[in-house]
Amino acid sequence: MANHYTVLAGGTGAAKFLRGLTAVLPPEEVHVIVNVGDDTEMWGLHISPDVDTILYALSGRLDAERGWGLRNETFRCLEAIKPLGMPSWFQLGDADLATHLTRTELLRGGLTLGDVTERLALLFGVQAKVLPASNDRVRTKIDTPEGLISFQEFFVRDRWQPDVRSVIYSGAAEARAPISVVSSIREAKAIFIAPSNPITSIGPILAVPAIRDALRCTRADIIAISPIIGTAPVSGPAAKLMEACGYEVSPAGVVRCYKDFLDDVIIHETDAALAASIRYDTLGVHVTDILMPDIENARRLAEFALGVNG
């Protein structure tokens, strides 16, 4: 008998939702399948930005204002490495480096990304199960007029300024999903798609064939929380990326990204008038305040989402 809820997650928006969900459920009943398309190598280190954002959020150490990295972080290594001619556009904090050094060392020793994440979660006291979507190499590439760049180059180095022609999930078609990921989807009480960027946070997860198949086949209800309110995301470059991929920037566009497996969507109260046009086939549309400026709002939204499944 299933006793867990599964969440598909990117970074910032998912971290907020998960803090609410783990406040209203026993954390060990929460599984999180996390995007690895943002992963990158920097200074010889393997960086998994979304996995770390989730681990830091669930261990209460995330810098919630920035939405990434650790609270009370310092950047002395970054300052010292700049004059040595190393790339310094990617913000790596001193304490954060300890995570990347440990991950890289354990990966070199032969552990999978899933094994390493399980170990880090245990060390950080995270009771939810945090599952990278794949142990294989999946990399989101942004096609710009100047050529293909990595997601981190687009997002951090170029501050999402370049025009986007398309988005490519390099390696995803051949990537396998760990058994733990597939069974987490198959056996869940319900599955939530966190309010994350549909193209570069959830898209790379769905691009792993075994994951999309499992979502299409599972008997669990699949409920998305919109990251878009009106015609704009709450934060980040989702609008530009959705447009480039041919999706309307609206809650209806979010539904289209997930239409082959979605059962319900939760949209913001100011979008209530859209409900009738989104409610096609058997899709349920639920309206509430989906902004999570603090833990109380996140908790309330999590309770609402659990009620949709109830």
| Binding residues vs ligand GDP (CB under 6 A) | 10-13, 16, 195-197, 200-201, 225-227, 233-238, 290-292
Closest residue to bound ligand GDP by CB: 13
Looking only at Cα atoms, what is the longest distance across the chain?
59
Residue number, 106 or 250, with CB nearest to ligand GDP:
250
Closest separation between CB of residue 235 and ligand GDP, Å?
5
**Is residue 140 within 8 Å of 203, Cβ to Cβ?**
yes
* CA angle, 175 then 131 then 232, to 5°: 85
Q: Give kind and range of the element (H or E) at residue 147.
A: strand 147-150
Closest separation between CB of residue 204 and ligand GDP, Å?
11
Residue number, 106 or 140, with CB nearest to ligand GDP:
140
Closest separation between CB of residue 232 and ligand GDP, Å?
8
Closest separation between CB of residue 224 and ligand GDP, Å?
10
Residue number, 28 or 269, with CB nearest to ligand GDP:
269
Dihedral sign for Cα atoms in the order 98, 101, 102, 104: positive
DSSP per-residue codes, 151-204: HHIIIIISTT-S---EEEEETGGGPPPPHHHHHHHHT-SEEEE-S--IIIIIHH
Separation of alpha carbons 80 and 88, rounded Å: 10
Residue number, 106 or 224, with CB nearest to ligand GDP:
224
Separation of alpha carbons 195 and 13, rounded Å: 5
Closest separation between CB of residue 229 and ligand GDP, Å?
7
Residue number, 67 or 209, with CB nearest to ligand GDP:
67
Q: Could you tell me which residues come within 8 angstroms of residue 123 by beta carbon, excluding any fewer than 6 positions away?
A: none
Q: Considering only CA atoms, which of 249, 234, 240 is closest in space to residue 200?
A: 240
DSSP per-residue codes, 251-303: HHHHHHHTTTT--EEEEEGGGGGGHHHH--TT-EEEEE----SSHHHHHHHHH
Closest separation between CB of residue 61 and ligand GDP, Å?
17
Residue number, 178 or 195, with CB nearest to ligand GDP:
195
CA 59 to chain centre: 17
**Is residue 148 within 8 Å of 142, Cβ to Cβ?**
yes
Closest separation between CB of residue 241 and ligand GDP, Å?
8
**Is residue 52 within 8 Å of 96, Cβ to Cβ?**
yes
Separation of alpha carbons 222 and 259, rounded Å: 11
Closest separation between CB of residue 15 and ligand GDP, Å?
8
Residue number, 16 or 31, with CB nearest to ligand GDP:
16
Residue number, 106 or 152, with CB nearest to ligand GDP:
152
